[in-house]
Each structure stands twice: as structure tokens, then as C-alpha cells.
């Protein structure tokens, strides 16, 4: 298999080995990936399964033939999980990281850009008159 999907494949295999489906119920990893048992997998494993499928599909996608397949590195996935930032499983920028700020409704209204420009102009005019 080409190197673009190796990391996500290894992450999926590890997630399956640590899942309850394999450890407690003693199913094989292949059985756990199939329909009746796939819904019992943890969310992380389901996301990795979907990301691995998209990665494999991307290898034969003709739209990506010049840029190549853009895989997610599992190391960045783990670090974003620990830091609490949002992440996107397969390529691209994160969909949810840093987009929402908490507010209490009492924030000062930001100054209008026109007012700022007017203040700059007035200061320039005052400096010109002093000279």
C-alpha cells in the first residue's frame, strides 16, 4: 500500500485492537469493521474507519492525480485531541478549531473604522497646523 494511508491504517488497527469489540467480545478486527458490529465501535474508531476509506478512495481519485492524496498524520490527530482543539480527520484545515469565543454580552463595541480614520486625519491636521 502506498505511504499516504499507512499512518491512518496503523491508527485504525491500534484503535480496533484496544476496542471492546476485540478485547471483551473476542471478535476479529475484520468482523468489528462490518455492519452489525461497526456501530458498537468507539467514535474515534468510526472516524478513523471513515478517514481510512476516504484516503483509499483518494488514491484512485483522478481529481487528485496532480496534488496527490493528502492524508492526516495520526500524530497531529493525537495532539489536537489532547489539546482540546477541534480536528478534521482527512486533510484540509480544522473545521472547528478556534472559531468560537465565549461572550457574556457586555463586551465593548469595537470602534468603527471610519471613526479611527477620522481621528488619524484630525491628528495629522493638528500636527500640520503646529508647524
**Residue 21 CB: number of other CB atoms within 10 A?**
22
Reduce the secondary structure of the chain to three states and give it as a string.
CCHHHHHHHHHHHHHHHHCHHHHCCCCCHHHHHCHHHHCCCCHHHHHHHHHHHHHHHHHHCHHHCCCCCCCCCHHHHHHHHHHCCCCCCCCCCCCCCCCCCCCCCCCCCCCCHHHHHHHHHHHHHHHHHHC
**Mean pLDDT of successive 10-residue segments in the chain (131 residues)?**
78 92 90 89 90 85 71 56 54 55 78 92 94 80
**pLDDT for the residue numbered 94:** 55
Amino acid at each position: 500500500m502506498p505511504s499516504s494511508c499507512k499512518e491512518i491504517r496503523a491508527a485504525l488497527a491500534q484503535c480496533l485492537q484496544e476496542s471492546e469489540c476485540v478485547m471483551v467480545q473476542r471478535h476479529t478486527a475484520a468482523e468489528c469493521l462490518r455492519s452489525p458490529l461497526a456501530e458498537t465501535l468507539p467514535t474515534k474508531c468510526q472516524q478513523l474507519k471513515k478517514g481510512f476509506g476516504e484516503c483509499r478512495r483518494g488514491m484512485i481519485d483522478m481529481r487528485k492525480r496532480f496534488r496527490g492524496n493528502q492524508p492526516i498524520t495520526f500524530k497531529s490527530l493525537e495532539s489536537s485531541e489532547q489539546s482540546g482543539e477541534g480536528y478534521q480527520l482527512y486533510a484540509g484545515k480544522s473545521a472547528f478549531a478556534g472559531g468560537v469565543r465565549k461572550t457574556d454580552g457586555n463586551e465593548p463595541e469595537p470602534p468603527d473604522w471610519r471613526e479611527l480614520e477620522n481621528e488619524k486625519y484630525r491628528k495629522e491636521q493638528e500636527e500640520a497646523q503646529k508647524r
